[in-house]
Amino acid sequence: MNFLRIYNSLTRDKQLFIPNNPGEVRMYVCGMTVYDYCHVGHARVMVVFDMVQRWLRTVGYDVTYVRNITDVDDKIIKRAIENRETICQLTTRFIQFMHEDADALGVQRPNYEPRATDFIPQMIDMISALQRNGYAYQAPDGDVNYAVRKFTQYGRLSGKSLEDLRVGERLVEKTTKQDLLDFVLWKSAKESEPEESKWPSPWGLGRPGWHIECSAMSCQLLGKHFDIHGGGADLQFPHHENEIAQSEGVSGHSFVNYWMHNGFVRIDNEKMSKSLDNFFTVREVLKKYDAEVVRFFILRAQYRSPLNYSDLHLDDASRALTRLYTALKDTSGDGDELDWDEPYAQRFHSAMSDDFNTPVAIAVLFELAHEVNKRRNPMLVRQLIGLGGTLGLLTRDPGNFLKCAVGVSISDTLHIDIEARIELRAQAKRARDFSLADRIRDELLAEGIVLEDRPGVATQWRRA
């Protein structure tokens, strides 16, 4: 527990992890804005930080994990109006879809999943405190803005200076902000917006800005100074930079000790995003690939590195995961507890303790699988299953996994058809009609089904 090192985006180096309270970890991760289906970029955030919290628990920490839901913002309001439905109807539906996607990917539910609309009073309190402390002001248009230049350490997380940001400003004809760098804390209500997106406040009817949501929810649930804050690399600036300014502007002390950011998902060397219209939803991908294959694909890359999405890479991930499950076929483990003193487990532990280095940890799994294939040792089988399980992998019955189609489980009808043809082949062999038997085997192979004949046992089958 004392040897975990985490790459801290704030300091730009790996640091020994020392929690505020010994044996406890408080972690907040920015979650989804629920107006559409989750895409592969969202899946990476969910799987990466699911892996992080799993490992923290594995090494003995008592983890409080919070991942929020943004259920009111400009995009949500716009989509609800377009759909002619209420905001609640829209967000409730997509929260359910998000949970279905996360469950399919083996993502465990966080301890808390706060919705922004349940924390409006806390947001108002925080904005009021910022105003008292001289960091916030109400503009003529009714919006309440954060005065960025009042916070002298602004840009510390992203490495951007105020001068650099000024150079990058776009010319704006009209603004009610005191400075173009200022960002909104409270948005004054517009007549065109639905009533359910308006809350009373000291500054009139309105709703919170996006950045203040995470500051209020994290501080309410984890305290004003906690251990880990995570999210995608695209949130490092301005969202997380603004969170620091808001939270420290209220408390007057450090907000978060370790900032973690997972890398982008890329397609054709471009970031996957809705604005570029080059994204794939989780649901689209799961029509073609088994959900555990997608999880394995995400974890096989180091979490901070770019992840290149393609069918070619997912096909390779499918073959690789199949090799691990093949090693476990027709085996049984010896006991339930992992032996962390065993050499493979020690190397796995060392990799995961080095900033959650899953590529190296997974390489250990393949070495272990090679030994299982050679020795069929129950202790090694137990180690392979147990170590994989800390990553949320290898938790299924090997025979069931190996009978899955590339995308989804083989249907009952197709399963019956395969078994019927295997029986027909067995009858042909008994009748010494080897030509028919070979033809059935070749037809099944052409359909992606491999038959395995072993002395004394019925023919088994698996996907190719």
Q: Residue 19 and residue 21: Cα distance in Å, rounded?
A: 5
Q: Between helices 74-83 and 87-104, what is the axis angle to 10°?
A: 110
Contact 381, 370 (CB under 8 A): no
Residue 30 among known ligand-binding residues: yes
Q: Any binding-site annotation on 239?
A: yes
* Distances 297 to 119, 127, 172, 312, 397 between C-alpha atoms, Å: 36, 42, 44, 11, 20
CA distances 252 to 82, 130, 146, 152, 224, Å, are 42, 11, 15, 12, 10
In terms of DSSP bridges, do strands 256-262 and 226-232 run parallel, antiparallel, or are they unpaired?
A: parallel
274 is in an annotated binding site: yes
Question: Which of 188, 205, 408 lies closest to 290, judged by CA?
Answer: 408
Which residues lie below 8 Å from residue 239, measured CB to CB, with a gap of 6+? Answer: 30, 210, 211, 214, 231
Question: Using CA atoms, how far apart are residues 127 and 250, in angstroms rounded to an integer?
Answer: 8
Centroid of chain to Cα 225: 23
Q: What is the DSSP string of 253-322?
A: S--EEEEEEEPPEEETTEE--TTTT---BHHHHHTTS-HHHHHHHHHTS-TTS-EE--HHHHHHHHHHHH
Residue 146: phi and psi, rounded to 5, are -90, 130
Q: How far apart are CA 156 and CA 12, in angstroms?
A: 11
- Cross-strand bridge partners of residue 457: 454
Q: Which residues are annotated as a binding site?
A: 30, 214, 239, 243, 274
Which residue ranges are tagged as binding site for ATP? 274
Binding residues for Zn(2+), by number, are: 30, 214, 239, 243
